[in-house]
Amino acid sequence: MSLKFGHVSTVVASSPETVKDVLKTFDADCCSRPYLTYAARLSYNLNDLGFSPYSQYWKEVRKMTVVELYTTKRVKSFAHIREEEVASFVDYIKQSALLADPVNLNSKLMKLSGSVICRVGFGMNLKGSKLENTYEEVIQGTMEVLGSFAAADYFPVIGRLIDRITGLHSKCEKVFKEMNAFFDQSIKHHLEDESLKDDIIALLLKMERGETSLGEFQLTRNHTKGILLNVLIAGIDTSGHTITWVMTHLITNPRILKRVQAEVREVIKNKDNITEEDINQLEYLKMVIKETLRINPLLPLLVPREASKDLKIDGHDILKKTWIHINIWALHRNPNVWKDPEAFIPERFMDNEIDYKGLNFELLPFGSGRRMCPGIGMGMALVHLTLINLLYRFDWKLPEGMKAKDVDLEESYGLEDEMNLLYVIVAFVLFASILIARKAKKKTLNLPPGPPKLPIIGNLHQLGSQPHRSINKLSEKYGPLMSLKFGKVSTVVASTPEAVKDVLKTFDVECCSRPYLTYPARITYGLNDVAFSPYSKYWKEVRKMAVVELFTGKRVESFRHIREDEVASFVDFLKQSASTENPVNFNQKLMKLSGSVICRVGFGINLKGSKLENTYEEVIHGTMEVLGSFAAIDYFPVIGRLIDRITGLHRKCEKAFKAMDEFFDQCIKYHLENGSIKDDIIALLLKMEREETAIGEFQSTRKHTKGILLLPEGMKAKDVDLEESYGLVCPKKVPLELIPVITQWT
C-alpha cells in the first residue's frame, strides 16, 4: 500500500509475501534507513546500529555486534548476572506475597531489565549511576522521542519549527543530555577501573583503544555511545515488556496459566537452581511466548527502511528513497495465515515449526534479514529465566474485585499528543496550500496502491494514535504492499510474509538502510549506533564488530551466571511478595531485572549504585518514547522542528539523551578507572578508542562508543489490561499487578 506522509512517499508491506520481498528478496536494496532527525541526535549522528543507514560502517558494526556482543558464548557468560538479578526480583516478590501487596509488574520488570542491562552492558549497578533516580523517565522519554512523529522528517521547511512548538525537540535534547551523562559515567567508570573487562562497554572501549579492529573504521567515543544506546534501550525496554505481556495473557486465561505452570513444575520439580537451559524442556511455555510475541509485537511497525534504488516489488514500482514500513502487527493478524488471529491460542504452534528467529515471514517480532535484531539471544535469555521462576515459585491472582474481563489490554503507542497538536498546525498549512497552484510532470510508475493523499500531510491524518492498527485496516483494502506518504516521506508498508520476505531477504541489501530520524540520531550520538545508522561502510564495520566481538555465542554463554544471579534474586523477591500476598508490579520488576542483567553484562557494573539506579525506568521509558514517537521534523523539514518543540518531543529527547549519556559516562569512567575490566562491551569500545582501533576506515571515538552502547486483592483475570502502549515498542499501557502465591516449589 502506498501512502504519503508530508513530502515522504511511503509503502506499507503487511502480508507474508510482500514482507518477504522487502526483507529477503530485496533485502540489500531495502535495508537502509531514512534520515530520522531525532534518532540521529540520540544515536550520536547515526553512530549506532539501529538507525544507521546501510553502509560499510553499518556492516562492520553489525558484524561486530553479531560476532562480539551477542554471541551465544557471551550471552551465556552473563548468565550469573541474570540469575542474581532475577533472584533479587524473586525476593521482592516473596516480600510482596507475604504482605499481600499488589506488585506493579511493569515498573518492577523494567527495573529488573535495567539492572541486568546496566551490569551486562555497562559494568555497573543501576543504583548509584546517573540514571538511578531517573532511568524510567529517561528510557521512556527516549522511546517516546524515537517513536514520535517528527515533523522535521516529513516537512523539510516547517517541520523543525513544528517539533519545537510541540516540544519534541526539547524532549529529545533532554533525553540526550541524560543519556549522554549516563554513558559518560559508565565509560569513566571503566576507564578508572581496569578490572572491568567482561561487559559490553569494556569491549567497546577496547575497540576504541585499538586492541580490536572494526574493519577499516576507527571506533570513536560517539560510536561507542551510539552502540550503547542500542544495548540499553533494546535490552531494558523489550525484555520487561515481553514478560509483562506474557503474564497479562496468562492471568486472563486461567486454563493456559494452569497448563503452563503444570509443565514448569513437572520439569523443574524440586530443583534449587533454575537455569536458562530449562527452557529447552518447556515446550508449552515456548508456545506461550511465541503467541505473546505474535499478539503483542513490541515493534508493531518496524523502524522504517529506505529503498536504496528503484525497485519492483509485487509488480509495483518502488522509487529510490521511498520509506518502507513493515506492519508486523497486521502480519501477525493475517487471517490467511492465522486462524482466529485475535485469540490467544498457544496451541496453534504445536503442529508447526514457525519460530520468531526471522526465517518464517508469518512471525517476525524481531524482524528479519540484515536489520534483524542481533540481541535476541540476550533478551530472550532473561525472558526465559524470569518466566520460569515466576511460574514455578508462585501462583498468581488478581487484586480483590477485579475480573479477567476488566484487565485493560490496550497498547500505549505514544502518538496521541503529537498527532492532536499536529492536526491543528497542519490545518493552517492545508489552508495555505489551497492558495498555491502546483503543477508537476511525473513519470508514470506502477507504484503500490494506497489511499488518496492530502496536500502536504499526505496520509498522516489516517494514522491515528495506533498506526499499526490503522495501517492494517488500510492494507486490508489496498493490499499487502501499500504506498503511503507522510509529509515529505514516501513510504511503502509490507504486511504479509511474502512482501516482508522481499524486503528483508530478496532485496535486503537495497532495503536495509535507515532513513535519517532526527531524535534517534540525537540519542545515538549522531547515528553512531548499529540500529539507526544508515546502511554504509561504517555500519558494516560496526555490525561486524558487534557480531565478531560483542555478541558471539561464547560471549553470551560467558554471562550466563549473571543472568542466573539476577533471575534468582528476582525469584526471591517474588517469594517475599507471595508470602505477604502483595501484588507485584511486573512491568517495573521485569524492567529492573532486565536492566540489572544488562548493566552487569554490557557495562560491567551493577544497576544498583549506577546513575540509573533510581531513574532507569524513567530514562528507558523516556528514550523509548522518543525513539518511537512521531517526530514532525522527520516528515516536515520546514516546520517539523517547531511542531516537535510544541509537542515537547524535542525537550523529551534532550532529557532522555542527557540521562542516558550521564549513565554511559559513569560506566566508561568506571572502566577507565578500573583497568582490570576488559571483557565487557564498554571495555572493548574503550580499547578501540585508546588504541585508535579502526572501525574499517573509521576512527573510534567516545561518541561511537556511546552510540553502540545504545528491551491488587479481588482482581480477576478478566480485569487485566491487555491494551498496548505504542511507542518505539508496544508495551502494556496499564501496569500489570499480580499477587504471587507461595507454593511447594517456591
pLDDT, one tens digit per residue, over 23-44 is 889 988 998 999 999 999 999 9
The pLDDT value recorded for residue 714 is 34
For the chain, the C-alpha Rg in angstroms (whole number) is 23
pLDDT above 70 for 438 = no
Average pLDDT score over residue span 126-138? 72
Binding-site residues for heme sit at: 373
Binding-site residues sit at: 373
The pLDDT value recorded for residue 403 is 72
Average pLDDT score over residue span 721-740? 56
The pLDDT value recorded for residue 188 is 85
From 315-329, 482-496, 622-636, the region with the lowest mean pLDDT = 622-636
Average pLDDT, the chain: 81
The pLDDT value recorded for residue 572 is 84
Cβ pair 130, 609 in contact under 8 A:
no
pLDDT above 50 for 262 = yes
Cβ pair 89, 566 in contact under 8 A:
yes
The pLDDT value recorded for residue 119 is 84
Instruction: Give φ, ψ of 441 to 5 degrees.
Output: -90, 125
Cell of 45: 549522528
Run of H or E residues at 735: none
Strands 122-123 and 603-604: what pairing? parallel
pLDDT above 90 for 537 = no
pLDDT greater at residue 175 or residue 674: 175
Most trustworthy range by pLDDT among 69-78, 211-220, 484-493, 707-716: 484-493
Cβ pair 367, 234 in contact under 8 A:
no
Cβ pair 200, 122 in contact under 8 A:
yes
Among candidate residues 40, 49, 25, 37, the one with its CA nearest the CA of residue 530: 49
Chain position carrying cell 519492483: 312
Q: 169-185: string of b/e by CB count within 10 Å (b at 16+)? A: bbbbbbbbbbbbbbbbb
Average pLDDT score over residue span 173-191? 86
Cβ neighbors of 370 (< 8 A, separation 6 or more) are 27, 28, 31, 54, 62, 504, 508, 509, 512, 535
In whole angstroms, what is the distance from residue 607 CA to residue 705 CA?
Answer: 19
In whole angstroms, what is the distance from residue 219 CA to residue 231 CA?
Answer: 16
pLDDT above 70 for 544 = yes
What is the share, in percent, of the chain residues with pLDDT greater than 90?
A: 14
pLDDT above 70 for 494 = yes
The pLDDT value recorded for residue 716 is 35
Residue spans per domain, the chain: 2-742
From 46-60, 222-236, 487-501, 724-738, the region with the lowest mean pLDDT = 724-738
**Amino acid identity for residue 591 in this structure:** M
The pLDDT value recorded for residue 736 is 65
- pLDDT tens column, 410-430: 666 544 444 544 554 554 455
pLDDT above 90 for 306 = yes
DSSP 558: T
In whole angstroms, what is the distance from residue 543 CA to residue 696 CA?
Answer: 11
In whole angstroms, what is the distance from residue 517 CA to residue 531 CA?
Answer: 11
pTM above 0.85, yes or no: no
